Amino acid sequence: MSRPARNGLPTSNREKLRLDSIRAASLREIYPQLAEVRVEFEFIDGTARSPSPQSFSYFPAARGFFRYACPCHSCSGEFDLSGFVAELADKTGRTQRSRNVSISCTGIRAGERVECPICATVRVSAIMHTKE
């Protein structure tokens, strides 16, 4: 992992994501109605050995940060799911609070200087606090 520059500015996209994550407010502050958010990634890159699936669970005390670095370490791209989480949090009534989305990485692979071929199928789900 790269280290921050001496002037305190991030030296890479991954470092910027890490710093943004540290600065993010808690899920409880951003979406007090949510008891849990779950994010599940499956990746496809057109090869026989695609990156491994990833999953994340967030509870009220966790940082409410929903941007993820591309699983290819040499890639500058990210997957931003913030809008999808906000959409689920804003739903009213007893509607289903999950969404499946397909997102392509928009990054460039450093060594090859080519667009990253990774696509992700993502399931974002939210559990609301029950009223007692």
126's tokens: 């939210």
Tell me what the mean pLDDT of segment 59-66 comes to: 97
pLDDT, average across residues 47-57: 94
Give 33-98 as a DSSP string.
Answer: TEEEEEEEEEEE-SSSSPPPPEEEEE-TTSB---EEE-SSTTB--EEE-HHHHHHHHH--TT---E
Question: What pLDDT is attached to residue 96?
Answer: 61
Q: What angle do CA 121, 65, 60 make, to 5 degrees?
A: 105
pLDDT at residue 42 tops 60: yes
Express as a percent the part of the chain with pLDDT over 90: 72
What does the alpha-carbon distance between residue 127 and residue 37 come to, in Å, rounded to a whole number?
6
pTM: 0.85
Each residue of 67-124: pLDDT tens digit? Answer: 999 999 899 999 999 999 999 999 876 656 899 999 999 899 988 889 999 999 999 9
